[in-house]
Chain A
Amino acid sequence: MTVTLAHNKVRLALHHLRDGADGGGVRPLLHVHGLGERSPDEVPEVLASWPGQVWALDLTGHGDSSIPAGGGYSCEVLMGDADSAVAHLGPVTVYGRGLGGYVALLIAGARPELVRGAVIDDGPGLTGGGVEPGTPFVPQQPLEVTGTPDPYALLELSVDVRPPDYATTFARLAATLSGLDVAVAVAARFRPPWLTAVANEPGVHGMAVAEALALFAASPDAPAAAG
């Protein structure tokens, strides 16, 4: 089953990959793909141990989501994509690959009552554009858009700048406002500067995906969200 969500003028595809094995006692897990990827058709092996429902979101310009005219992508807008899914699903645990891992961090910091644990894993777009802008490239002709992934997304999200002190702001918001002992799990083996900084923050632990899923499945919902 796929649900279509509206995020401003973009239509997002949110895929239901699997029901929960536990009869609905654990909040859903939200899978966020990497740059240029799309949601998997089935629950990936790495997430098989999650006891609850598993959903996967196609980000703007990816998979079955719509393509905005003329680009303008930022990770903050993709965080808004994730927020649209959170608005539909209620409290979730988020697992993100690459770019999706950075988005998972952002939404965990921005919606600490609703994101109960974020897992950052390896994947395309994990590095972003580095810690400060490089030499700007401006295409003087329109890029040919034949479908997803939108080439403007690939162009712009490969150079989005991720200063470590910006990323750690979100880690701190997640850690302090979620009330969780561990709010962010870093499963990625490759760690660009933003992720190295995040991994050193209180409330952020390095651990394997299965370990993180077990931890977050057992973590409480926020009192307000649970009520």
Chain B
Amino acid sequence: MLDPSVKIPVVLEPLEDAEVVTYLGAQAPSRQRSVVSHGVRLAVHEWGDEAAPPLLLAHGGFDFGRTFDVFAPLLAAGGWRVAVWDHRGHGDSDHAALYSWETDVRDAVAVMDSLGGGAIPVLGHSKGGGVMVQLAASLPHRVRQLVNIDGLPSRRNFPDVSDHQRTKMLAGEAAAWLDHRRNAIHRKRKPGTIDELAARRGRMNPRLRHEWLRYLVTVGARRDPDGWRWKIDPVIRPGGFGPWRPEWAMNRVPGLSIPFLALLGVQPEPMGWGTRPDDVTALLPAGGRLEVFPDIGHFLHIEQPQKVAEIVLDFLGDPR
């Protein structure tokens, strides 16, 4: 049996002729390593002093750890050892045979174990926020504080929840999903230039700057001979289906027993979940706090990293 504590160094392949794209405030992780979770190798990225108290971040679906390249260093500057893992199938982590929120929760625990024992603060964005709520509800003794950035589902619009499932199903939707799986093993992401991949991602992230998306290509895609390709497992597809419904996640919120901060951007956009402030306030746990940002979309920490980091650091308090 594989020991989840075994650390395998991440091998970073040098990219010949790789274009170097920089972005103001973006910092590559201070350290990168691997954790094996239940037989799946996960890439872990860290910022800040390795001896500082750990803070675990979780990215959203179709994202990857280094989408925190601006936000994480701001939190690290507050005195935290900030760690994020690439969800299985995303970024530099293994492509698995199967994906689910349950496996992501288990992977989060394996990464927590690699950061030391005890309860630590966690922060999740979008699907990562939902996963962290499930973790806190399942293992309350492992979580000290919980920050949720636009990761509370109240409506049925979850473009990034492909490996989880949606209830609404039309004739043909299941067949289309099966057709996709029939060919999945032969599927490859479409190659392109940095600008093409950035433009494609821009359709899902219309509020984010093209320059940022260009930067993401260079840290989240790989360069093949025929062009750049996002690293995400081609079998992962937006628009799954299944029995899952948002209240199953939301119903866990009132019972959370740890300090809870929810941040909600209410500007609509394709990757957003369409959650309204009233949906959240009705379910806040005792002492829980909701901050609403009327002018920001789903990616609050990317649109307003300074402001969001300040609020999060204030909520987390002194790391020591």
Interfacial residues of chain B within 233-253, with CB under 8 A of chain A in the complex: 235, 240-245, 248
In the A-B complex, list the 9 residue pairs whose CB atoms are closest, starting with the nearest: A72-B98, A68-B97, A69-B39, A70-B38, A110-B174, A9-B97, A136-B138, A166-B243, A72-B103
Min CB distance, A12 to chain B, in Å? 11
Query: Hey, what's the 0/1 contact readout for A128-144 against B, CB within 8 Å counting as 1?
Result: 00001101111111111
The 18 sampled A-B contact pairs (Cβ below 8 Å) are A8-B97, A8-B184, A70-B96, A71-B106, A72-B97, A72-B102, A73-B100, A76-B177, A76-B241, A87-B182, A110-B174, A137-B138, A138-B138, A140-B113, A142-B37, A142-B38, A142-B39, A152-B38
Query: Hey, what's the 0/1 contact readout for B1-42 against A, CB within 8 Å counting as 1?
Result: 110100000000000000000000000000000000111100
> Do A138 and B139 form a contact, CB below 8 Å, given A68-B98, A69-B96, A71-B98?
yes
Interface residues of B (CB under 8 A from A): 1-2, 4, 37-40, 88, 94-100, 102-103, 105-107, 109, 113, 134-135, 137-139, 163, 165, 167, 169, 171, 174-175, 177-178, 181-182, 184-185, 235, 240-245, 248
Let me know if A68 and B243 touch, CB within 8 A: no
Let me know if B98 and A145 touch, CB within 8 A: no
* A74 partner, pick from B4, B40, B134, B165, beta carbons under 8 A: B165
Which of A156-164, A180-188, A196-204, A210-218 faces chain B?
A: A156-164
Kindly report which residue of chain B lies nearest to residue A84, judged by CB atoms.
B182
* B98 partner, pick from A73, A109, A133, beta carbons under 8 A: A73
CA distance A121 to B103 in the complex (A): 30
Let me know if A6 and B185 touch, CB within 8 A: yes
A177 CB contacts on chain B under 8 angstroms: 171
CA distance A138 to B177 in the complex (A): 28
Indicate whether A169 reaches chain B with its CB closer than 8 angstroms. yes
* B248 partner, pick from A133, A152, A170, beta carbons under 8 A: A133
Let me know if B106 and A70 touch, CB within 8 A: yes
Let me know if B185 and A166 touch, CB within 8 A: no
Let me know if B38 and A71 touch, CB within 8 A: yes
A68 CB contacts on chain B under 8 angstroms: 96-98
The size of the chain A interface, using a CB distance under 8 A, is 48
Min CB distance, B23 to chain A, in Å? 33
Let me know if A161 and B134 touch, CB within 8 A: no
Query: Hey, what's the 0/1 contact readout for A35-51 against B, CB within 8 Å counting as 1?
Result: 00000000000000000
Indicate whether A7 reaches chain B with its CB closer than 8 angstroms. yes
> Do A110 and B40 form a contact, CB below 8 Å, given A71-B102, A139-B106, A145-B1?
no
Let me know if A156 and B102 touch, CB within 8 A: yes
Which of A79, A84, A141 has the most chain B CB atoms closer than 10 A to its own CB? A141
Min CB distance, A28 to chain B, in Å? 19
B175 CB contacts on chain A under 8 angstroms: 110-111
Indicate whether A83 reaches chain B with its CB closer than 8 angstroms. yes
Indicate whether A222 reaches chain B with its CB closer than 8 angstroms. no
